Every structure is written in structure tokens, then in C-alpha cells.
Amino acid sequence: MAQGAEAAAGGGAEVAQLPDFQRAHKLGVVVRPMTGDDMGFLAQLYRSTREDELTITGWSEEQKQSFIDMQFRAQHAHYQKQYPAALWLILERAGQPVGRLYLERWSSQHRIIDIALVPPARGHGLGGAILLDLHDEAASAGKAVSIHVEKVNPAMSLYRRLGYETVENKGVYDLLVWTPPG
């Protein structure tokens, strides 16, 4: 099903077409633009991606939450500043937010700034479906898809299975690129 709605890009006046998530839609995923009301969900989602790191700190819950709040705000501000024309999208399933997708469409490639799913939504094919839908969109425009991924990210195996290759070692991160066939 085509997502024909339009979304404001990066909080600016420009309007961009939402991606057409046919595979993800078959799994019950819909996409909508992020709003200010999503900040609490996004902060919780961010924390879910950092729980493994937090468990080894020895910090109190209050210290952990304070750190996460600071890091989330810093990341969000950085993304908004560095990618002003990006699509800031919330992924929903059964009317509930289950993830985020931040996407910038450049003339040379489509850059996934960030993609994350809540823990119960991980490992069920949703991420793969979204990535394949993004591949279809980029390929139809003759573009590659790129993303920075932490080397220890469990999703790295998914990216490898889908044909992403490391094009740059960025220390903790690798810059991965998927190139359309042909």
C-alpha cells in the first residue's frame, strides 16, 4: 500500500514524500512524521538501545536516567542540526509506536541517519522489511543506501545479509553502503 501522505522534512518548510513501505506495511507497520509529542517515546527507545552499556556502569537508576536524558537530547539536537532536510519518522504497529527512522535523501544516495525498534519488535523481520523497502526506493532512483553502524550492533548481521559492505572504518562505527544491482 502506497504511503501517499506528505511529511514536513526536518521541521523546515520543505515537504518530502514519505517512503513507500510495502513490505513493512504487510507486517502491520505504518509510518508517520515525528511530532513533539513523540519525544518521551523516542527517549525510551534510545535508552533501550543503550541498556547493555548501562548495566556495566554500576550507576544508580537516577544516574543512568540522567545520563540517558543528556545523551538523547544531545543526539537529537545533533541529528536535527546536521540533517536539516531529513525525514523524521515514527514507525507504528497496531496503533503503537515501535520505532524510529530518520532518513535523508541526498542526490547521490539515501542516508539512514538512524533506525531503531523497541525490544519486543526486534527479531521479527520488521527491520529487514523496512530496509528492503528503502532499497527499492533508492534503486528506483539509481541510488545507494548508506548508514553508520556500531561494530558491536546486533543488527550488523542483518545489514551483511542484505548486502551492505563496509566502505569506511570510523572507529566504533563502520560506514556501510548497499548498492543496487546493475
Q: What is the DSSP string of 109-159?
A: EEEEEEEEE-GGGTTSSHHHHHHHHHHHHHHHTT-EEEEEEETT-TTHHHH
Banded pLDDT at 7 (limits 50, 70, 90): very low
Q: Under CATH, which number does the domain 6-178 receive?
A: 3.40.630.30
- Give the pLDDT confidence score for residue 174 in this predicted structure: 97
**pTM for the complete prediction?**
0.88
For the cut 90, the answer to whether the pLDDT of residue 2 exceeds it is no
Percent above pLDDT 90 for the chain? 82
Q: Where are the domains of the chain?
A: 6-178
Q: What confidence tens digit (pLDDT) does each residue in 82-97 have?
A: 999 999 999 999 999 9
CA atoms within a 13 Å half-sphere pointing along the CA-CB vector of 41 = 18
| Residues in CB range of 182: below 8 A, 6 or more apart | none
**Of 124, 90, 110, 128, which is closest to residue 179 (Cα–Cα)?**
110
pLDDT at 106: 95
